[in-house]
Chain A
Amino acid sequence: MSGGVEIPVRVVDVEQATETVKRFRLAPLSGEALPPFSAGAHVVVTMDDHGRRIRNPYSLIDRAEDGSSYRIGVLRVPNSRGGSKFMHENVKAGDRLVITMPVNLFPIVRTGRKHLLVAGGIGVTPIYAMANELKRRSAPYEIHYAMRNEASGAFIDELRAAHGDKLKLYRDDMQEFVSVSEILPNQPLGTHLYVCGPEGMIEAILKGGREAGWPEENLHCERFLAPTGGEPFSVVLQRAGITAEVRSDQSLLEAIEEAGVDAPFLCRGGACGQCETTVVSCDGELDHKDHYLTEEEHASGKKIMICVSRLKGRELVLDL
């Protein structure tokens, strides 16, 4: 249960794309073809760090035509609690990992007449897959790819080769920034915009879109949200009759899994809604971090997305 069907894979190739980004090619142990995925999809990768289980979502870059492998791209983040650090330091060709079936929370809208793809930093991974799908379908599109400097642009060469002048680069160190006032005007009716990158960039682009009169239905984003940690607290799983401690460096979902209870999830990033859990009671303030529940639902205190949100208090009782 939990994240659905799992696929054991072997790492067949590791490529150091930039100083901080590695690309991994994953092939199924079974030898059967991996399922085709729609661009924008991610898988949750389960890593085994000497008995400690780490699960992180990573977007799929592409799939070998014969289905023999998927690729993912991983940025090594500073102060990593483990996931990206483990992928960078421990995972070598030949190693085994487990991935979930692909899930797409960031799909291309098929009825769109044109597509603007906006990527910042590692946010390029789903955008890369989307650009290739749009090219295959001969749909009109533009790629706007922002990065710190040319050396940190992990996908520049491949994107340039595939998409030519449809790709526009923005290098921070050259004072180039994606500006909504340049990319939004004069786009044909029926254009959809997709942005994935740092939170500040996503907010600025979405705000610019709304101000330019773009309807919500045409603005799409994916946030690489990760649980941030915080003060420790106890969680009582009422139905299971289990009490567990949520450490400061652990998410609620991770603590629940460590206690042996398989809670459902799909994205582990506060976006899909799968891990929505009913709060029975709590003696503090719920610290909501997700982008799924509405403001009213947050305020009601009756629901919590356990993959990213926590309690500021002592004890949280869940209907689990």
Chain B
Amino acid sequence: MLVSDIKSRPVYKGLTVDDAARRHLVAAEGEGALAVLEAFGDAPEAWSRMTLLYTPGGSAPANHAEALQARAPDAFHLHPTRQTLMTRLRALLDTATMGTRLYATGVEGFIGQVVAAGIEHGVDHFSIRTEHRGSLARRVQCVHCKGFMDDVTVSPVTCAHCGVPLLVRDHYSRRLAAFQGVSIDAECPGDVPAAEEIFK
């Protein structure tokens, strides 16, 4: 669990199954597979109403995909990357009807992207059930060039797009699903402290 007293920091309450939902639309990444397995347990009824999108991320060797598929979700989409998963999720959200409940689990950057896609489709973020699993890696937006980086575990980090050394702040944007990265050596160019791995 991530802890922070920063207001903009999202809170993940855990995946709890909404029994009233007609359809469970579940987006899972990496270790998030375990949260899905635990939350939905072996209630075949719930799995029979589930559309499950999964991308293994760094957890590929553990082969959670097989364990998920074994529970026989109504529809199972395995994606090689987050990007392809998000494209499919957006297409599903476009045609989804009320009674569909959205769930997101995995690393924080992934949850954030799923929540942002839900919000774009008029879903209230309070009604999206989320659980953080896996590393504390952050999705960061460079405030200078506006480029995004996934899976950032260190701060400062060099912006992959414009090369500016960035301090990863605790400031989170729900709309962008990213933390803010701001130039760390603006006052004193070249004076960059050593990178520390803080979001493991």
Contact = CB atoms under 8 A, between A and B. Distances in A.
Interface of A: 109, 111-114, 184-192, 210-218
10 contacts: A187-B97, A187-B98, A189-B93, A211-B20, A212-B20, A213-B20, A213-B98, A213-B99, A215-B18, A218-B98
Contacts of B127: 215-218
Given A189-B93, A189-B96, A210-B20, A215 B101 contact: yes
Given A113-B122, A215-B127, A186 B20 contact: no
B153 interface: no
Contacts of A189: 93, 96-98, 100, 121-123
Contacts of B121: 113, 189-190
B119 interface: yes
A213 B17 CA distance: 12
Nearest to A192: B122
A262 B20 CA distance: 45
Contacts of B93: 189
Given A111-B124, A187-B98, A188-B97, 9 more contacts: A114-B122, A189-B96, A190-B121, A191-B98, A191-B122, A212-B20, A213-B18, A213-B20, A217-B124
B98 A214 contact: yes
Given A217-B126, A218-B127, A212 B101 contact: no
Interface of B: 18, 20-23, 93, 96-101, 119, 121-124, 126-127
Nearest to B22: A213
Contacts of B99: 184-185, 212-214
Given A217-B126, A217-B127, A188 B98 contact: yes
B149 to A, nearest CB: 28
Nearest to B123: A190
A98 B43 CA distance: 60
A185 B126 contact: no
A286 B16 CA distance: 36
Nearest to A186: B97
Nearest to B124: A217
A188 B122 CA distance: 9
B96 A218 contact: no
A111 B98 contact: no
Contacts of B21: 213
Task: Report which residue of B20, B93, B119 has the largest number of chain A beta carbons within 10 angstroms of its beta carbon.
Answer: B20
Contacts of A113: 121-122
B99 to A, nearest CB: 4
Task: Report which residue of B99, B100, B126, B127 has the largest number of chain A beta carbons within 10 angstroms of its beta carbon.
Answer: B99
A213 B100 contact: yes
Contacts of A211: 20
Contacts of A215: 18, 101, 124, 126-127
A214 B124 CA distance: 11
A216 B123 CA distance: 12
A213 B101 contact: yes
B122 A112 contact: yes
B41 to A, nearest CB: 19
A212 B119 contact: no
A111 B100 contact: no
Contacts of B122: 111-114, 188-192
Contacts of A112: 122
